[in-house]
Chain A
């Protein structure tokens, strides 16, 4: 009888230990993203990628699980800071997300003060990685976008480029980078900054048409701006050989929403459409994304997925090493060196990914073809070519 009781007690104790371990291994991860306000669309896209990463990680990882706590920062820097502070008070082990350099700056500052790692793909402002934080990490940067745009313009042998850019931090930095590099190569450039409140782009495009007379119009802005610039260009029909943009342009959404404006337009694109995932990780991501959201994955989801998987893996490694509460997540993130859906990711001493280089895609009918760099291209670029 006594032996039976001891056996039962041992069983109960080991069950409690297993449960305890399981509970201890569920890590809270704070997600601070804009789900409303001006950045709601991009924030929602990133959040979808983060959720897919959590689903895949929890399915694949036997020992560790992550639980996401999401707070909408309403596209406001002050609310982003409040969100990070609230997440820190709820015991999260790291912060994932953030969109817009002006929100990410103060939010990651708050995370740093709380001793939490902050990882993102939503802000490319150079200043973000110049603050000497050990806790800030990002997987993409201006240099990667600039490299892609310059590579494409070089392939086009453009000799005169008009750069139309939004006067926000990230867009200005990229436009100035491209301008500097082109000028150094002897390409004639003309800069056309515009404020976020501009809705009618005809006066700018008319100036380009009548005064600049460029080969290529380069656009650095967001979806609303691209639609406005392309619509104005369709009305004024400047004599250019190509319309080249960056983020948020070579996407299926833009092709669906603006079918008359997108044909032959270029933008950064990680993958062609229809998407072709060749790696096991890529297929897992695409299948889970379709299962959760019932649609094809986009680049925002991809970036959100990659940053989150890297973070979750670092959390798991830090937990295994017993360094989770002593800065282990940051240490483990610095050791990252692996291939991902956006290429090889490593972090330098500033938390930036020096390997990041984007690809350029072109809307070709209802497809998006990757046309630069040559080693990743799945189609030839249609050049010269404009939507009108």
Chain B
């Protein structure tokens, strides 16, 4: 029983860290612009397909495909921002429709380019088992667990210790007041989309390295990221980590001690209970 519990916890932590990596980008954009980027999951999928192209065409290890994925996905994220920026009225609502449209276009673009086949890495180095006593995992899961923690630390440092990070928080807090302080909100919002693109690029390569990707995966990822963002408290970075880990652990515990058929239900029950007890999420503050 101990062995089973420890493995469930370990799998939950690894799963949660991958969820955090996916949800961070969505949380950053929402935190700054109050825009829910419904194409975020598709950006993650785009990165996964860049990794697939680099591996299948150039023989590169998916880890070496990260720079290419960052360039492609950041460019796609910037283009998404340029479209969102053209919305003159009711940006929060209209951006939902716009980003949903972009998501559909990206899904079908990937489908046309890469067909509907499922893809995953062929690198045995990444998929080989790493055994630490009673804990089993793939090497890629460990690698991206460390990467996720490092990226979150870096993001936290950027948001709290750099001028541009503080400017981003200022825009998130009050766009008009930030403008009066000499901050150009559009530039900051563009930066938030590019940062979200960067995080999506890492998340996509991670999923390609330890999971299986297909063109239609994006919607599932967006929904998962959205649940975590709300669970965390809108825009909270530490909340994303805690929320994602909590969700990952609840899911694996349900599978281990209940049934995996109830995994999704357990995640949603957690989501509802947290929102019932803490309506602003785990780390959210009441909006005035």
Contact = CB atoms under 8 A, between A and B. Distances in A.
Nearest to B223: A197
A188 interface: no
Given A36-B111, A41-B116, A206-B4, A194 B261 contact: yes
A148 B8 CA distance: 34
A7 interface: no
Given A37-B216, A41-B117, A227-B212, A234 B127 contact: yes
* Chain B contact residues, majority secondary structure: helix
Interface string B110-137: 0100011111101010010100000011
B120 A227 contact: yes
B120 A258 contact: yes
A235 B137 contact: yes
B61 interface: no
A320 interface: no
A207 B4 contact: yes
Contacts of A210: 3-4
Given A195-B261, A200-B252, A36 B108 contact: yes
Interface string B245-261: 00000001001100111
A167 interface: yes
Contacts of A257: 117-120, 122
Interface string A323-358: 000000000000000000000000000000000000
Nearest to A193: B261
Contact of B11 (A36, A195, A202, A224): A202
Nearest to B12: A203
Q: Taking each of A38, A167, A206, A211, which has the highest tally of chain B beta carbons within 10 Å of its own beta carbon?
A: A206
Nearest to A38: B216
Contacts, number: 112
A203 B255 contact: yes
A199 to B, nearest CB: 5
B15 to A, nearest CB: 5
A203 B260 contact: yes
A260 interface: yes
Interface string A163-204: 000010000000000000000000000001111011110111
5 contacts: A40-B215, A194-B263, A203-B7, A231-B138, A260-B122
Interface of B: 3-4, 7-8, 11, 14-15, 107-108, 111, 115-120, 122, 124, 127, 129, 136-138, 210-212, 214-216, 220, 252, 255-256, 259-264
Given A192-B259, A204-B255, A210-B4, 15 more contacts: A36-B107, A36-B215, A37-B216, A41-B115, A41-B117, A193-B260, A198-B263, A199-B15, A203-B7, A204-B260, A227-B212, A231-B127, A234-B127, A257-B117, A260-B124
Interface of A: 35-38, 40-41, 43-44, 75, 167, 192-195, 197-200, 202-204, 206-207, 210-211, 223-224, 227-228, 231, 234-237, 253, 257-260
